Structure 1
């Protein structure tokens, strides 16, 4: 008992121990306070986070596993963020959720934790918190929903929302038909069924070694998710006994494996920001350039929307994440261990592909080089990212005149104007949407195309912003331009008509103007007037301390782990 962290609360016969035990006797047996590890279940279930509603059922299975292994399971509701629900953007609250979870894990009498997440920001926030506290921890991803169908065709939630809404704007789909698709879009419990950010971050958690091997991608309604959750509860007790902590698992080697995985599955660009933030909490020296250097040459093997055709339950039946990783096992770092204590490559080795239309063989990839491309140049000195797998190949090298929008409101006001001076060669630029400018770096980087171009059959254009985009989105979209406009980045100086050069093979993003001319310019008053200027609360704290995208957009005072010690006794 005395070796357990929870013993600091429960061991002994003094008044403090009496109080701690007495208040927890709500059905717990006497043995709960004499040598059993106490396992928190950090649970992001919420009726306002639709993708995570089912996590209470998952928590029940985790609890059963904890009890079976000799532990004491304790449900710990934590901050939950519904990607589709909260305003102004879910990303504004990721750091708040991570900070609150961190503090609750540190403050409570627990020896280990099972992290339940699904919707986009929940797994990143949970991992950031766990890395900071460094108690034994393991993730249970909530799993994707089953595929819905409309007019006999499968629907990819998110991806097909963007596609169908553009068809309405183009006049090729009626508004009535679009509305009828709504009831078919979300077929079951679970998060997005595309390779969006939720599925990507579940895969990243497994690639990092922070899940029970084989669980990522298990559909939310599949009974095997509950069985694996039960096993995860047992594993959490073993983690405490082995004193295996996130700092043992989250190493530079594990982040290398995550980057290889990100490329092979065609994962979301949002993973870049989240992995950088998690690494920052874990004290791992991960940079934006690592994504390009490690991901370069990794083939795209998973044919899923938005980069491909299929959906997450297809990936699961085709062999799952391990089958894809077995094809690139030589690119994985053999030293990186998982929460089991064994290397990731041992769990991956021998996994079979059952449907080669969903998971391609290494010799027949969808793309030979699918890694996230990191661009630099005078338009993004500290970097910007683009996902070649979701882009139009003919636009990856492009020169065109800028059409600049100073804010999201400016975009909505002018985009569909018949007077907008725009052609298919134009480069659409949206600024003021970075971490500080909006605030929160919203998913608005995949700008809609001008209506008059949609009507002519145009379906993609080069788009550049300091924002993010949904992992379910697609197109030739350059994101996370750093520094952002609101902190004086070059994006603030672009004017409509300026020549913009995108050269993905050369990893360049430039405005083709002399440095002397740019030095003489100042940001437009329309742009600066739209920047966020909160006066109180979380938004004020966020604005004052958020770092740029190349640092994971975390708060500057939260980087690095601070451990599990509380520091003071109560009562």
Structure 2
């Protein structure tokens, strides 16, 4: 295809003489673009840079690298900005209710700017927890050539002779409340926990979604995990800048890549590595936006015998930088090759099989082969039962190996702060099952953090003695007997909303069951008296979100407004 033919078919090149051609031409010439630039592929660099959080502090520098690479490859870069949610900063207001809705706000940010301008492709600078799934959702929705560029993890430091990172800070809040450390100790830890920009160390939600973007085929091989501020990240940015221009020329689109096979591959990576429980809702949301007919919960259940081949914190002793050095996502996929669909297409323009054939064998001290796993059970699994008829997510990799059955009396809270206060006064004791409910996407509205309670529980030394069952949002850093994403959520009328103080809840991680041991007649009485939450008084973004958010089982994406509850 000639250069003239290529330019003619770009959707960004409007009919000469038309109104939109004339006014945009005037705008862009005034910005310094040349006549030649006006005919080239026009690429959005989706940048969620922000000075609020260290997760995003380096994105402007990466953007400059990508800009230069796009120009060198024959494209024209346009930086656009989006909302920049940080789980440890944006969570301060309204008990973190803005976090989950920010994912979907980001999707709409991208749509407005890329579709509004009719740009030809986009590179998505992925950082904190909600940006990567939001960017993948936008790619699936818009279906213009796109590449995700994972922008790296932060490093921890040393404090009082031992390694400390954000996970240690997170857990140590509970240790402070339990009287095991002093405020001065915790303060010192905060001074050393983060050394440089990037997302949380460990296989928490941000690194999970970075890894899964590569597993889906939407990021270039050896993109994740990767250290922020490193030469490797700059090289990855250069590769992505060149590759996006090729994708536009080839007209290779996200829906060519985001196929059922790609999602099954991502599920296998998530299960075999013990990724964050939040990946379940995010993968479901990406599939929904890309209009891929796949049930992510059922796909996780289908690989219930897949073993765990990594033990990256909080699942075990290895740090995220060790997973990076051992081969990263590509190394994991090479070990999982017998159970992957290697015909799946990637943003390289080639099937997964080709990049796996070229990949070196991973370091098996960190990434084990399938026949010699770290643990015989999967890192993630789905529980079902009378308390979770549509499923709930358990991170087996973060549960002590000796605990596979747990039965206890329910302690019911609809506010995380009250649960943390009860923990501080000793009102929560070993043997309890803490129910944190009404905290899901609809109940919040906007998913409420339940993660801080779990971290405090572990810090107080009760991570192995108290179970937590919630429809709220957990962190990928959480460990302990934690059952998340209970579906349907309480605010949808799910059984979680019917639990009363003192009810017996039984968790069986071997049989994959989660049951409320209350007779049918009692539950029927409670259901008759149950009322859905009334959000009609809410204004602003959360009020709009309450009207639009769909069930958790569908990824909690936005849909048609609800006329009533």
Q: Contact 1:146 / 1:221 at 8 angstroms: preserved in 2?
A: no
User: Which residue pairs with 1:310 in the alignment?
Assistant: 318
CA shift in 2, pair 1:94/1:544, >3 Å: same
Secondary structure at 1:6 match in 2: coil
Q: Contact 1:547 / 1:555 at 8 angstroms: preserved in 2?
A: yes
Matches within 5 A, 1:97-496: 97-157=106-166, 159-349=167-357, 351-352=359-360, 355-418=363-426, 420=427, 422-445=428-451, 447-448=453-454, 459-496=464-501
CA distance in structure 2 between the partners assigned to 1:329 and 1:91 by the alignment: 33
CA distance in structure 2 between the partners assigned to 1:449 and 1:339 by the alignment: 37
Q: Using the TM superposition, give the Cα deviation of residue 523 of structure 1 relative to its aligned residue in structure 2, in angstroms.
A: 8.8
Q: Normalising by structure 1, what TM-score?
A: 0.91
User: Which residue pairs with 2:50 in the alignment?
Assistant: 46
Structure 1, gaps ≥5 residues long: 559-571
Query: Which residue of the other structure, out of 89, 95, 105, is the alignment partner of 1:85?
Result: 89
Q: Using the TM superposition, give the Cα deviation of residue 156 of structure 1 relative to its aligned residue in structure 2, in angstroms.
A: 3.6
Q: Using the TM superposition, give the Cα deviation of residue 394 of structure 1 relative to its aligned residue in structure 2, in angstroms.
A: 3.4
Query: Which residue of the other structure, out of 550, 554, 559, is the alignment partner of 2:553?
Result: 550
Any idea what the Cα deviations from partners look like across 1:378-433, whole Å, max 9, x if unmatched? 11121111110111233331211111113224324433334x3x441221111111
Report the more deviating stretch, 497-506 or 190-199.
497-506
CA distance in structure 1 between the partners assigned to 2:264 and 2:187 by the alignment: 43
Q: Contact 1:256 / 1:294 at 8 angstroms: preserved in 2?
A: no
CA shift in 2, pair 1:174/1:357, >3 Å: farther
CA distance in structure 1 between the partners assigned to 2:33 and 2:371 by the alignment: 56
Structure 2, gaps ≥5 residues long: 1-6
Any idea what the Cα deviations from partners look like across 1:41-96, whole Å, max 9, x if unmatched? 11111112420121111111111111111111111112221221113321121111
Q: Using the TM superposition, give the Cα deviation of residue 291 of structure 1 relative to its aligned residue in structure 2, in angstroms.
A: 3.7
User: Which residue pairs with 1:540 in the alignment?
Assistant: 543
Q: Contact 2:104 / 2:134 at 8 angstroms: preserved in 1?
A: yes
Q: Contact 1:416 / 1:450 at 8 angstroms: preserved in 2?
A: no
Q: Contact 1:147 / 1:311 at 8 angstroms: preserved in 2?
A: no
Secondary structure at 1:39 match in 2: strand
Q: Contact 2:404 / 2:508 at 8 angstroms: preserved in 1?
A: yes
CA distance in structure 1 between the partners assigned to 2:342 and 2:435 by the alignment: 42
Q: Contact 2:274 / 2:308 at 8 angstroms: preserved in 1?
A: yes
CA distance in structure 1 between the partners assigned to 2:460 and 2:266 by the alignment: 40
Q: Using the TM superposition, give the Cα deviation of residue 237 of structure 1 relative to its aligned residue in structure 2, in angstroms.
A: 0.5
User: Which residue pairs with 2:3 in the alignment?
Assistant: none
CA shift in 2, pair 1:354/1:277, >3 Å: closer
Q: Contact 1:130 / 1:137 at 8 angstroms: preserved in 2?
A: yes
CA shift in 2, pair 1:176/1:23, >3 Å: same
CA distance in structure 2 between the partners assigned to 1:239 and 1:392 by the alignment: 45
How many residue pairs match? The answer is 549
Any idea what the Cα deviations from partners look like across 1:320-356, whole Å, max 9, x if unmatched? 2212221111111122110112122321235345644
User: Which residue pairs with 1:7 in the alignment?
Assistant: 13
User: Which residue pairs with 1:96 in the alignment?
Assistant: 105
User: Which residue pairs with 1:71 in the alignment?
Assistant: 75
Report the more deviating stretch, 260-269 or 192-201.
260-269
Q: Using the TM superposition, give the Cα deviation of residue 458 of structure 1 relative to its aligned residue in structure 2, in angstroms.
A: 6.3
Q: Using the TM superposition, give the Cα deviation of residue 214 of structure 1 relative to its aligned residue in structure 2, in angstroms.
A: 1.1
Secondary structure at 1:393 match in 2: coil
Q: Contact 2:175 / 2:460 at 8 angstroms: preserved in 1?
A: no
CA shift in 2, pair 1:235/1:354, >3 Å: closer
Q: Contact 1:404 / 1:496 at 8 angstroms: preserved in 2?
A: yes
CA distance in structure 2 between the partners assigned to 1:483 and 1:461 by the alignment: 23
CA distance in structure 1 between the partners assigned to 2:456 and 2:51 by the alignment: 36
Q: Contact 1:292 / 1:374 at 8 angstroms: preserved in 2?
A: yes
Q: Contact 1:298 / 1:368 at 8 angstroms: preserved in 2?
A: yes
User: What value does the CA root-mean-square deviation take over the aligned residues?
Assistant: 2.3
CA distance in structure 1 between the partners assigned to 2:350 and 2:284 by the alignment: 24
CA distance in structure 2 between the partners assigned to 1:396 and 1:523 by the alignment: 34
Q: Contact 2:66 / 2:241 at 8 angstroms: preserved in 1?
A: yes
Secondary structure at 1:65 match in 2: helix
